[in-house]
Protein backbone atom coordinates (compact mmCIF):
# COMPACT_ATOMS: atom_id res chain seq x y z
CA UNK A 1 0.00 0.00 0.00
CA UNK A 2 2.94 2.32 -0.69
CA UNK A 3 4.11 4.16 -3.73
CA UNK A 4 7.79 4.93 -4.14
CA UNK A 5 8.84 8.54 -4.74
CA UNK A 6 11.28 9.44 -7.46
CA UNK A 7 13.84 11.12 -5.15
CA UNK A 8 16.41 8.30 -5.03
CA UNK A 9 20.10 9.18 -4.81
CA UNK A 10 22.32 6.30 -5.89
CA UNK A 11 26.03 5.97 -5.28
CA UNK A 12 26.36 8.80 -2.79
CA UNK A 13 28.34 8.61 0.43
CA UNK A 14 25.99 11.00 2.25
CA UNK A 15 23.49 9.71 4.75
CA UNK A 16 19.97 9.40 3.42
CA UNK A 17 16.63 9.24 5.19
CA UNK A 18 13.55 7.33 4.17
CA UNK A 19 10.38 9.28 4.85
CA UNK A 20 6.77 8.27 4.44
CA UNK A 21 4.82 11.23 3.05
CA UNK A 22 1.08 11.29 3.75
CA UNK A 23 -1.83 13.72 3.99
CA UNK A 24 -4.06 14.79 6.87
CA UNK A 25 -6.87 17.18 6.00
CA UNK A 26 -5.18 17.82 2.65
CA UNK A 27 -1.95 18.89 4.37
CA UNK A 28 1.21 17.04 3.38
CA UNK A 29 3.27 15.65 6.28
CA UNK A 30 6.10 13.16 6.62
CA UNK A 31 7.29 10.67 9.20
CA UNK A 32 10.53 8.70 9.34
CA UNK A 33 9.94 5.29 7.75
CA UNK A 34 11.60 3.56 10.74
CA UNK A 35 8.81 5.00 12.94
CA UNK A 36 6.07 3.35 10.84
CA UNK A 37 4.83 -0.14 11.65
CA UNK A 38 2.03 -0.40 9.12
CA UNK A 39 -0.74 1.12 7.02
CA UNK A 40 -4.24 -0.29 6.72
CA UNK A 41 -7.87 0.71 6.28
CA UNK A 42 -9.25 2.83 9.11
CA UNK A 43 -11.59 1.07 11.54
CA UNK A 44 -14.26 2.83 13.59
CA UNK A 45 -12.63 4.16 16.79
CA UNK A 46 -13.95 3.32 20.26
CA UNK A 47 -14.14 6.38 22.56
CA UNK A 48 -12.29 6.16 25.89
CA UNK A 49 -11.86 8.58 28.76
CA UNK A 50 -8.42 10.02 29.39
CA UNK A 51 -6.40 13.13 30.11
CA UNK A 52 -3.83 12.88 27.34
CA UNK A 53 -4.51 15.58 24.72
CA UNK A 54 -5.81 14.27 21.39
CA UNK A 55 -5.92 10.65 22.63
CA UNK A 56 -9.59 10.00 23.30
CA UNK A 57 -10.19 6.69 21.54
CA UNK A 58 -8.76 3.30 20.63
CA UNK A 59 -9.02 1.29 17.43
CA UNK A 60 -9.05 -2.49 17.03
CA UNK A 61 -6.79 -4.05 14.42
CA UNK A 62 -7.31 -7.79 14.48
CA UNK A 63 -6.51 -8.88 18.04
CA UNK A 64 -4.59 -5.66 18.76
CA UNK A 65 -6.12 -2.58 20.36
CA UNK A 66 -4.19 0.64 19.70
CA UNK A 67 -4.55 4.10 21.22
CA UNK A 68 -5.47 6.71 18.61
CA UNK A 69 -3.60 9.99 18.35
CA UNK A 70 -5.99 12.42 16.64
CA UNK A 71 -3.46 14.28 14.51
CA UNK A 72 -6.20 15.93 12.46
CA UNK A 73 -7.82 17.45 15.57
CA UNK A 74 -4.45 18.62 16.91
CA UNK A 75 -3.91 20.49 13.63
CA UNK A 76 -7.54 21.71 13.51
CA UNK A 77 -8.13 19.79 10.28
CA UNK A 78 -10.60 17.14 9.10
CA UNK A 79 -9.44 13.89 7.50
CA UNK A 80 -10.43 13.85 3.82
CA UNK A 81 -11.92 11.05 1.77
CA UNK A 82 -14.54 8.38 2.22
CA UNK A 83 -11.98 5.60 2.88
CA UNK A 84 -9.39 6.99 5.32
CA UNK A 85 -6.27 5.03 6.18
CA UNK A 86 -4.74 4.01 9.50
CA UNK A 87 -1.08 4.90 9.94
CA UNK A 88 0.49 2.79 12.71
CA UNK A 89 3.53 4.40 14.31
CA UNK A 90 6.07 3.20 16.88
CA UNK A 91 6.02 5.37 20.00
CA UNK A 92 8.31 4.80 22.99
CA UNK A 93 5.23 3.81 25.03
CA UNK A 94 3.99 1.42 22.34
CA UNK A 95 2.31 1.49 18.98
CA UNK A 96 -0.39 4.04 18.23
CA UNK A 97 -2.73 4.71 15.33
CA UNK A 98 -3.48 7.88 13.40
CA UNK A 99 -6.27 8.42 10.89
CA UNK A 100 -4.92 9.89 7.65
CA UNK A 101 -6.45 10.92 4.32
CA UNK A 102 -7.32 8.17 1.85
CA UNK A 103 -4.50 9.13 -0.54
CA UNK A 104 -1.86 6.38 -0.61
CA UNK A 105 1.32 7.44 1.27
CA UNK A 106 4.55 7.72 -0.72
CA UNK A 107 7.98 6.55 0.40
CA UNK A 108 10.73 9.11 -0.31
CA UNK A 109 14.48 8.83 0.15
CA UNK A 110 16.11 12.17 0.89
CA UNK A 111 19.70 13.21 1.29
CA UNK A 112 20.43 14.47 4.81
CA UNK A 113 21.65 17.76 3.31
CA UNK A 114 18.08 18.58 2.22
CA UNK A 115 16.70 18.41 5.77
CA UNK A 116 16.17 21.66 7.64
CA UNK A 117 14.72 22.97 10.90
CA UNK A 118 10.93 23.22 11.03
CA UNK A 119 9.98 26.64 12.35
CA UNK A 120 6.25 26.02 12.76
CA UNK A 121 4.74 25.65 16.22
CA UNK A 122 1.66 23.62 15.22
CA UNK A 123 3.14 20.14 15.68
CA UNK A 124 6.17 18.38 17.13
CA UNK A 125 8.67 17.97 14.29
CA UNK A 126 12.12 16.46 13.81
CA UNK A 127 12.71 18.92 10.96
CA UNK A 128 11.33 19.51 7.49
CA UNK A 129 12.22 19.47 3.83
CA UNK A 130 11.11 21.50 0.85
CA UNK A 131 9.28 20.04 -2.13
CA UNK A 132 8.65 22.76 -4.68
CA UNK A 133 7.12 25.63 -2.74
CA UNK A 134 5.88 23.42 0.11
CA UNK A 135 7.69 22.97 3.41
CA UNK A 136 6.86 19.46 4.61
CA UNK A 137 7.26 18.91 8.37
CA UNK A 138 8.69 15.59 9.57
CA UNK A 139 6.50 14.50 12.46
CA UNK A 140 8.30 13.65 15.71
CA UNK A 141 6.52 10.45 16.75
CA UNK A 142 8.34 10.35 20.11
CA UNK A 143 6.66 13.63 21.15
CA UNK A 144 3.09 12.71 20.24
CA UNK A 145 0.73 12.82 23.19
CA UNK A 146 3.18 14.60 25.48
CA UNK A 147 1.66 17.30 27.60
CA UNK A 148 3.17 20.75 27.31
Q: What is the pLDDT of residues 106-130, one digit of tens each?
A: 999 999 889 999 989 899 999 999 9
The whole-number pLDDT of residue 12 equals 45
Nearest CA to 18 out of 113, 95, 114, 111 is that of 111
- Laid out side by side, the sheet with 85-91 consists of 36-41, 85-91, 94-100, 64-68, 57-61, 46-47
pLDDT over 70 at 142, yes or no = yes
Size of the chain, expressed as the number of residues it contains: 148
For domain 3-142, give the CATH superfamily. Answer: CheA-289, Domain 4 (2.40.50.180)
Does the pLDDT value for residue 80 go beyond 80? Answer: yes
Predicted pLDDT of residue 10: 52
Res 79 pLDDT > 50: yes
Average model confidence (pLDDT) for the chain? 88
Give 6 or 56, the one with higher predicted confidence.
56
- Looking at residue 9, what is its pLDDT? 47
**pTM of the predicted model, to two decimals?**
0.85
- Greater model confidence, 111 or 7: 111
**Mean predicted confidence (pLDDT) in 86-95:** 92
Higher-confidence residue of 132 and 117: namely 117
The domain ranges of the chain are 3-142
Amino acid sequence: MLRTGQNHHRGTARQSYQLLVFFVGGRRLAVKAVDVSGISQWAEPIPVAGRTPFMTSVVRQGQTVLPVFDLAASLRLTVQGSSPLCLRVKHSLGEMAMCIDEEIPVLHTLDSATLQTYHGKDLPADGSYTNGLDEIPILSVSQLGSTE
